[in-house]
Amino acid sequence: MIIDSWYLRRLPGQPAEFCGLDAHLRRYTHGVQRFYGRRPPERFLRSVRAACEDASAGEWFPRLEGSARADRLAWRPSPPRRRRTRLLIGECVRDPRRHPELKGPDLPVLGELRALAARRGADDLLLARGGRVLEATTSAILLLEGDRLILPAGPRLPSVSEELLLSGEPVSPPEPGRPELRWDSLCRRPVSVAEVEEAARSGRARVYALNALHGVTEVAVLGRVDLE
């Protein structure tokens, strides 16, 4: 299955607020085409936008679900949103993901890893291989070192939240107290686990998680676990 999801908020008497819907639809369309060899019908994609614009008051986390023959929009209430992400680092010998650049096919194994992190008091698990950071099970990870933004090389899922951040667009609807990232230079390079741990411990650099539900959250690293 190919999936995609995003946070949507509608306050009473106000229009619906959501960020990056076009980018989410593009990523979903690309995933369905690549995995199943078909393109979602334009009428379905238009109906998704209409459903978002006509959403009732509340906080929502709709999800697109694509199979070999059909597309579905699952309209779901939003889970609680957090302002800080507690990460457990999982060092793996073999990458458990089979399709790291697609959202959905690896959902079962990523869910198991996230459950492992939750049992140890963490919100998410950061995958690493050979001492190098890949991505968290539900988030893109980046470092802000002074005025330089550092993006791990991957392989990893193309992040809509990261795309929005780099283009200067809001990652999530405005909310007081959310981090605002500013930088002068940008680099993509391999990032080591030790670098992330040192940054989180010393404050020399700040570590952030980005995803469609929680937006931008600062990271606290809880420890490591070896994965088979």
Per-residue pLDDT at 145: 94
Walking along the chain (228 residues) 10 residues at a time, the average pLDDT comes out as 98 97 98 98 98 98 98 98 96 92 97 96 95 95 96 93 96 90 95 92 91 96 88
pLDDT at res. 201: 86
Q: What is the pLDDT of residue 204?
A: 86
Q: What ranges do the domains of the chain cover?
A: 2-74, 84-227
Let me know: does 29 contact 135? Beta carbons within 8 Å. Answer: no
Q: What is the pLDDT of residue 219?
A: 95
**pLDDT tens across 113-171, in order?**
999 999 999 999 999 999 999 999 999 999 999 999 999 997 999 999 999 999 999 99
Residues 2-74, CATH architecture: 2-Layer Sandwich (3.30)
- What confidence score (pLDDT) does residue 200 get? 85
State residue 202's pLDDT score: 87
104: phi > 0 → left, psi -120 to 50 → alpha, else beta; which?
Answer: left
User: Which position has the token pair 């819907």?
Assistant: 21
Q: CA 179 to CA 211: how far, in whole Å?
A: 13
Buried b (16+ CB within 10 A) or exposed e, 122-136: bbbbbbbbeebbbbb
Smallest CA-to-CA distance from 125 within 98, 89, 150 is with 89
| Greatest C-alpha distance within the chain | 52
Compute CA distances 55 → 171, 181, 204, whole Å: 19, 30, 43
Interior/surface letters 157-183, b for 16+ CB within 10 angstroms, e for the rest: bbbbbbbbbeeeeebbbeeeebeeeee
pLDDT for the residue numbered 164: 97
Please tell us whether the domain made up of 84-227 is placed in CATH 3.40.50.300: no
